[in-house]
Amino acid sequence: MKFPYTKTPALIFASTILFGAQLALAQDTSPPAPSVTVATVQEQDITPELTFVGRVEAVDTVDLRARVEGFLQERLFKEGANIKKGDLLFVLEKAPYQIAVEQAKADLSGAQATLKNARSDLKRKKDLRKKKVVSEASLDTSEASESSALAAVLQAKAALRRAELDLSYTEIRSPLDGQISRSRYSVGNLVNSSSEPLATITSLDPIYVTVPVSDKLILEERRKGLSSEEAPVIPSLVLSDGKPYESDGEFDFINTQVNQSTNSIITRAVFPNPKHILVPGQFVSVIVRDKQTRRELVIPQASVQKDQQGYFTLVVDRSNKVEIRRLQVGEQVDTNWVIKDGLLKGERIIVQGIQKVKPDMVVNPVEEGA
């Protein structure tokens, strides 16, 4: 015999709770807030810097040339060697010029003897004229002879100085400290003033680095008081092997004209070069940094994006809601952007997970490095 099935109160209560839980679970279908990595906007002492491409140039370059004609008799240096000012480098054949000096000395002696005789004759004529023994015309002739003899002496002295100067030109010395090139002539070659340079001397310490800089940048800095007399920046170098140069330089010249093809202005810095590491003609990276540090807001570059309206970042407010914030950025410092406007110190910005969120979305912020 079967009895009809009836629900007890306990079973009804349990069924009600289970149904309510299932209904609540079915209604709570919203996804969890996405996790993003945030960083806090901080202030930092920075030294702004810019990087340019520069070319090394010698302070002085001198071509050695023969000033008189003669056969090259001696070459007294090693090609490529470092030399000092006044070092004897080349000697031309001296004999013809020594002979010319001796001839000039003889001509001078003869002219001086003639002058002495003319003066003696003039003195006698003056004494005789006082006694009216000789005529006025004869005295005038003696005075003219004395003047002519004096002129001949002066001419002979000038010829002697010229002959001695030509003789001195047979010795070619270095006009400066520097490094000498290879010789373009061998001993025995005939050279003169129209010949190619015998060799070239290049000064290497100190040395110049020329840097073309945008005229807009120069204009901006000049409004701040830029001048070559006291530049507010310090240049340093990175060589072609990626290593920094051992010494900083100093700007000493800003060109007065703009290159019309590149819209740039040539600036020049001078660097010490005692080891001759820098060689004229080579390219170097020139890092220009301010002499003074300043306090600025900085944020990681990874947090900054750009669209048609400009730069922006995503800020997480106190309620963990995402907000888009437009920025005015400054220069890049290492892996950070300097922020001129748009953020306050202590605000939180998204540095990772940017692609997962959009404005007004609630997120789960996780501090960078946590």
How far CA 368 is from CA of 37, 196, 353, in Å, comes to: 6, 69, 12
* Whole-number pLDDT of residue 23: 52
* Whole-number pLDDT of residue 354: 84
- What 3-state DSSP class applies to 306? strand
* Whole-number pLDDT of residue 230: 66
The dihedral through the CA atoms of 190, 195, 199, 201 has a sign that is: positive
Structural class in CATH, domain 52-59+206-290? mainly beta
Q: Could you say which architecture CATH assigns to the domain 35-47+294-367?
A: Beta Barrel (2.40)
Amino acid at site 234: I
Which has the closest alpha carbon to 288: 80, 53, 6?
Answer: 53
* Whole-number pLDDT of residue 159: 94
* The CATH number of domain 94-169 is 3.30.565.10: no
DSSP category for residue 55: E
* Whole-number pLDDT of residue 184: 94
How far CA 205 is from CA of 56, 176, 237, 274, in Å, comes to: 12, 11, 16, 6
* Whole-number pLDDT of residue 22: 59
Q: Dig out the tokens for 52 from the structure.
A: 């340019």
Helix (H) or strand (E) holding 253: strand 250-254
How far CA 144 is from CA of 67, 123, 141, in Å, comes to: 39, 13, 5
The ranges of the chain with pLDDT < 70 are: 1-30, 223-231, 369-370
State the Cα–Cα distance between residues 294 and 316, nearest whole angstrom.
27
Asked if 309 and 326 touch (Cβ cutoff 8 Å), the reply is yes
Q: Dig out the tokens for 290 from the structure.
A: 């301010």
Domain 35-47+294-367 and domain 94-169 have a common topology: no
Q: Dig out the tokens for 280 from the structure.
A: 């004229």
State the Cα–Cα distance between residues 228 and 268, nearest whole angstrom.
9
* Whole-number pLDDT of residue 3: 47
Helix (H) or strand (E) holding 98: helix 95-130
Which has the closest alpha carbon to 330: 290, 285, 286, 284?
Answer: 290
Domain ranges of the chain: 35-47+294-367, 52-59+206-290, 94-169
Q: Dig out the tokens for 260 from the structure.
A: 């019309």
DSSP one-letter string for 314-339: EEE-TTSBEEEEE-EEEEEETTEEEE
Q: Dig out the tokens for 228 from the structure.
A: 């070559």
State the Cα–Cα distance between residues 67 and 162, nearest whole angstrom.
13
